[in-house]
Amino acid sequence: QKEVEQDPGPLSVPEGAIVSLNCTYSNSAFQYFMWYRQYSRKGPELLMYTYSSGNKEDGRFTAQVDKSSKYISLFIRDSQPSDSATYLCATATQGGSEKLVFGKGTKLTVNP
Partner 1 sequence: EADIYQTPRYLVIGTGKKITLECSQTMGHDKMYWYQQDPGMELHLIHYSYGVNSTEKGDLSSESTVSRIRTEHFPLTLESARPSHTSQYLCASSDRGTASYEQYFGPGTRLTVT
The footprint of partner 1 (CB under 8 A) covers 2, 4, 8, 32, 34, 41-46, 49, 88, 90, 92, 97-105
Closest contact distance (angstroms) between CB of 88 and partner 1 is 7
Dihedral (Cα; 79, 43, 67, 72), 10-degree rounding: 30
Closest contact distance (angstroms) between CB of 64 and partner 1 is 17
Compare residues 7 and 17 and give the one whose CB is closer to partner 1. Answer: 7
DSSP state, 100? -
Compare residues 17 and 109 and give the one whose CB is closer to partner 1. Answer: 109
Helical (H) or strand (E) element with 13? strand 11-14
CA separation for the pair 74, 90 (Å, rounded): 12
Task: Say how far residue 10 (Cα) sits from the centre of its chain.
Answer: 14
Find residue 24's DSSP bridge partners. Answer: 5, 71
Closest contact distance (angstroms) between CB of 100 and partner 1 is 6
Compare residues 17 and 101 and give the one whose CB is closer to partner 1. Answer: 101
Q: What are phi and psi of 58, to 5 degrees?
A: -145, 95
Compare residues 10 and 16 and give the one whose CB is closer to partner 1. Answer: 10
Closest contact distance (angstroms) between CB of 18 and partner 1 is 25
